[in-house]
Structure 1
Amino acid sequence: MSQLVIVDYNNFWSPSGGGVRRYHLERMKYYKNHPDALLVFVQNDGKTYTEKVSDSLIIEHTKAFRFPGNWEYRFLWRQIDLKPAIAKYKPDIIEVGSPYILPKAIEKACEGCPKKPILTAFWHADFPVTYVRRFFEKWGFPRFAKKAESLAFAYARSSFKKYAKIEASSHEVMDRIQANGFKPEQLEWIPLGVDLETFHPEARDETLVQELKDGDPNRLTIFFPHRFCDEKGLRLFLEAYPILCKELESEPAVLFAGTGPDLPLVEEAAKKYKHIRYEGFIKSTAEMARHYASVDMGLALSGWETFGLSILESLACGDALVAASTGAALEHLRESGAGVLLEERTPQALAQAIVKISKMDMAQLKQKSVEYAKKFSWQSCFERQFAMYQKLVQR
C-alpha cells in the first residue's frame, strides 16, 4: 500500500500559539512514524528550507509576512509560496486550518494539477461569531453584528464550497455551522485530545505549591496560560482580581504564562500585586503540566472556543474551572461537572464564580476533572481523522 500524502497549510500557526500550535505539534508527533502516510506541514516561517524529520514527516518552512506587534503570526497567500509543496509532493489530501483567503488561494493553487488533491479544512476558529459578530457587539452595534455574522458565514460557505470535509471538534460549533447553511455530509466531528502521559495530577510540584501559597494553605491558586487578549478574558480577570482580594480571606495567587497584545497589562499587574507572577512563554509541555497540576483552578473565559485544548489540559491535571457559558468551555464544564459557569461576563460575576469555587469540595472537583479528561486522547483523534482521509480517497 502506497503512502497517503497529506499537506497542511495554516495561517493560524504561531511558534508561541496555543491550541492550534498544540494541534499541529501533536499531529506531527502522530505521523512521525506512521507507516501508511506522509505528512508535509507547510510551516509559516522567517526563511524557506526543507526539514525532513522522518520518512513520514516533512516540514516545509516557508518565508511568510509577519504581523507587527506582540503577535508572532505569519501569513501565506501568494501562489508562488503555496504551489511548491503541492507540485513537489502531489498530495492526496490538503488540509487548510484558517478561513481567511487561504481556502480559495489553495483551491487556485491546485488548478492544473495532473492529480487533483481532495480539499479538507479544520474549523479551528469559529470566526463568524468570535471575530466578526463579537467585534461589532463590542463597539455597540448589536443589530449590525448579527448581519455581519451572516455575511461571514456566507463568505465561509463560498470559501469552502469545493472542500470535501469541514472538521470541527465541538458539537455546539458543528450545530452552528450546519444551521448556517453547510450540508451535514460536509461536516465531520473530530474531537481533539490531551497528552495524558504528560498532563496529570502527579505533575504537581510541591515547591511551586508552597511558593504560591506563601505561608497560607487556604490561599486560592490560579493558572492563566492563555493568549493575552480580550477574547480570552484577560482584562475581565484583571478587573475581577481586586474584587477577589477583598472577597477572599487572602489574596489569590495567580500565575500568568504566554504572550499577546495585552502583555503590558500582565506585566503591570505583576508589579502591582505581590501574588501575581508572570512566567513568560512556556514552551515545554512538562512545564505546562507542572504549572497546571500545582494550582487549584483554571479559567476558561473565552466563549468562542472550538474545542479548548488548554481547558482539557487543565482538567487532566485536576483543576477546577470557571468556564464561559457558551462554546466548548460550556460543553466541557457541562459534561465534566468540574466547576462553575460564568453566567454574566462582568468582573463582579467572575469574582463571585471564583469565590463560589473556593468554597466547594476541591478534592471532588479534581476527581471529576481527571475522570472526564481520560475520555480524550490524541491517538484516537488522529486515528479518527486518518480513517476519514482514507474514506475520502477511496470513494
Structure 2
Amino acid sequence: MTLRIAQLANFVGPVSGGMRVAIESLGQGYVAAGHERILVIPGKEDTTTETENGIIVQVRAPRISRDYRMIAKPWRALEVLDRFRPTSIEVSDKWTLSPAARWASKRGIGSVLFSHERLDDMLSGWVRAQFGVETAVGALNRRLVKEFDAVVVTSAYAAEEFADLDANLWHVPLGVDLETFHPSVGSPADDGLVKLCYVGRMSHEKNPELGVAAAIELHRRGRPIQLNMYGVGPDLERMRAQAGDAPVVFHGFVKGRDEVARRFAASDISLSVCPSETFGLAVLEALACGTPVVTSNRGGAHELVDPTCGDYGTPDAVGLADAIERVMARLGPDLRLAARARAEQYTWQASIDRMLQLHETLAHQVPNRPVRRPAPRHRTENPENL
C-alpha cells in the first residue's frame, strides 16, 4: 500500500535545529520507501513546491520572532490537507495545528501527534514556577490524547508527560546521520586547551546559560578550557555578559550539517545541558563524531549518555563542572571510539521503519478514499524563504 503522509509543523525556519532535522529525515525516508509525503509549514507567502523529497507547502504566516513564523489561522493548513487528502497526518505542534486531529477524524484519516517537547517542564521554566503549569498542561494533554489516534514520544522522559492519560503511545527514538557525523571529519587541536562546545539555540528553553556557567566554574578552578558556543537566539547578548572574562567564544550560527560535524569533531567534550530536552539530536551528532558528551542528570538527553561515552551532573554550574572534570580525566582514543559506538545504536532507518509501521497501522484501521494528487497552485525554486 502506498501511503500519502502529511507532516505539519510550526516553528520551522532556516536556523531551526533538532525538530527540523527530525521532520526532514523522516520525510526523506518516507519517500525513499516509495510513499508520498506532503510537508506543511509556515512561510513568508503561500507556495507549493515539488521536490525530490515530496511536496513542500508553505502557508503564509506571521513572524512571532526574528527567526520563526507560526500558522496563526489553522484553517489555512486544513485547506492544504483538503487539497492533498493524505492517508494519515503527522503533526509536530501542540498549539495552532492541533485542530488537524479533528479534521482527520471527521474524514476517517489516521492522526499522529509527534511530541517534540515536554510542555510541563518547558513552561515551568518560562514562568519560573510550577504552580498552575501542571494543571494547564494536564488539561491540554488530555484533550490531545483524545483527539489524536497516536502520540509519538522519543524517550521515557517524554512519555512521563502522558502518564495515566490512556494515550496510545509509540516510543520512537530518533537517529543520526552516521556518514555526515563521523570521527574522520576532524579532531581536537593539541594546544593544551580542553575544547568544550555547545551547539544549539541560544534561548532559555534550551538552557545554554548552564554551559556558560559550567565553563565559568572550570575557569575559576584553573582548568585549561575553552567553551565554543555555536548558535543564535534571543539570549545571546545576555550570555555574552554572563561569560565576562571566562574563555567562552560565541561563534554564531553554523551553516551546513557538514560544518556542524567538523565543529563537533574538533571538540574534546560536547555539552548538552538542558534538563527538559525530550531527546537530544545534538548529543547523537557529537557522539557520532567521536566526541564524548556531558549532559544534565535528567531529561531525554540523559538517556542517550551512558558511562562509556560521557557523564552527567545536576543542572547547575558545580554539578556540570564536576561531570566535565570526570570526562577530562578519561579523554583519549578509547573514549572517542566508545562515543562513536554509542551513536551507531541510533539510526534514522530504524526511526523511519517504526514511523512507517505506525502510519501503515493507522491506514488499515481507518480506510481512506483514494484520490488523485492535484497540481500545485504555486511553484518556487527555493522552499526555504521562511
- Of 178, 199, 208, 2:181 maps to 199
Match of 1:65 among 13, 37, 62: 62
Matched, 1:380 2:350: yes
Structure 2 regions of 5+ residues with no counterpart? 366-386
Amino acid paired to 2:80? A
1:222 aligns with: 196
C-alpha distance 374-10 of structure 1, shift in aligned 2 (>3 A): same
Deviation per CA, 1:285-323: give whole Å up to 9, x if none: 111111111110011211111111011111111112211
> Is 1:50–1:60's contact at 8 Å kept on the other side of the alignment?
yes
Tell me the residue number matched to 1:78: 73
In the TM superposition, 1:263-302 aligns within 5 A as: 263-267=236-240, 273=245, 275-302=247-274
Flag the 1:148–1:274 CA change in 2: closer, same or farther, 3 A: closer
Partner of 1:129: 121
Amino acid at match of 1:261: P
Q: Deviations over 1:70-120 (max 9, x none)?
A: 4x22111424411221111111101111112321x22354576xx432111
One-letter amino acid of the structure 1 residue matched with residue 15 of structure 2: S
Give the partner amino acid of 1:348: V
Q: Give 1:90-239 correspondences, 5 Å limit.
A: 90-103=85-98, 105-110=99-104, 115-131=107-123, 133-136=124-127, 138=128, 141-142=129-130, 144=131, 147-174=132-159, 176-183=160-167, 186-204=168-186, 209-210=188-189, 216=191, 218-239=192-213
Question: Is the Cα contact below 8 Å between 1:266 and 1:278 reproduced in 2?
Answer: no
Identify the match of residue 215 of structure 2 among 237, 241, 246: 241
Contact 1:256 1:266 in 2 (8 A): no
Alignment partner for residue 371 of structure 1, among 328, 341, 349? 341
Partner SS, residue 134 of structure 2:
helix
- Structure 1's 107 and 232: CA in aligned 2 closer, same or farther, altered over 3 A? closer
Q: 1:46 aligns with which of 40, 44, 47?
A: 44
The answer to whether the 8 Å contact 2:174/2:351 transfers is: yes
Cα 1:289–1:159, aligned 2, differ >3 Å: closer, same or farther? Answer: same
SS in 1 for 2:48: strand
The answer to whether the Cα contact below 8 Å between 1:296 and 1:362 also exists between their aligned partners in 2 is no
User: Which residue is 2:29 aligned to?
Assistant: 30
More deviation, 354-363/193-202: 354-363
The equivalent of 1:342 in structure 2 is 313
- Aligned residues of 1:168 and 1:189 also touching (Cα < 8 A): yes
Higher alpha-carbon deviation: 240-249 or 56-65: 240-249
In the TM superposition, structure 1's runs of 4+ consecutive aligned residues that sit over 4 Å from their partners are 108-112, 266-270, 272-275
Amino acid paired to 2:152: E
1:7 partner SS = strand
Name the aligned partner's letter for residue 360 of structure 1: R
| Mapped partners of 1:134, 1:242: distance in 2 | 22
Identity %: 25
CA distance in 2, matches of 1:128, 1:373: 28
Distance 1:168 1:110 in 2: 20
Shift of 1:134: 3.2
Corresponding residue SS for 2:146: coil
CA contact (8 A) 1:255 1:276 kept: yes
Q: Which runs of 5+ in 1 are unaligned?
A: none
2:253 aligned partner, one-letter code: F
Q: Distance in 2 between matches of 1:80 and 1:162?
A: 17
1:189 and 1:10 map into 2 onto residues whose CA distance is 20
Deviates more, 1:75-84 or 1:161-170: 75-84
Q: 1:48 to 1:295 in 2, by over 3 A?
A: same
Aligned residues of 1:43 and 1:61 also touching (Cα < 8 A): yes
Contact 1:247 1:355 in 2 (8 A): no
For residues 338 and 311 of structure 2, the distance between their equivalents in structure 1, rounded to whole angstroms, comes to 13
CA distance in 1, matches of 2:338, 2:125: 32
Structure with the higher helix share, 1 or 2: 1
CA separation in 1, counterparts of 2:186 and 2:245? 24
Q: Distance in 2 between matches of 1:79 and 1:279?
A: 37
Q: Which has the higher contact order (CA 8 A, sep 6+)?
A: 2
Distance 1:310 1:374 in 2: 14
Amino acid at match of 1:107: A
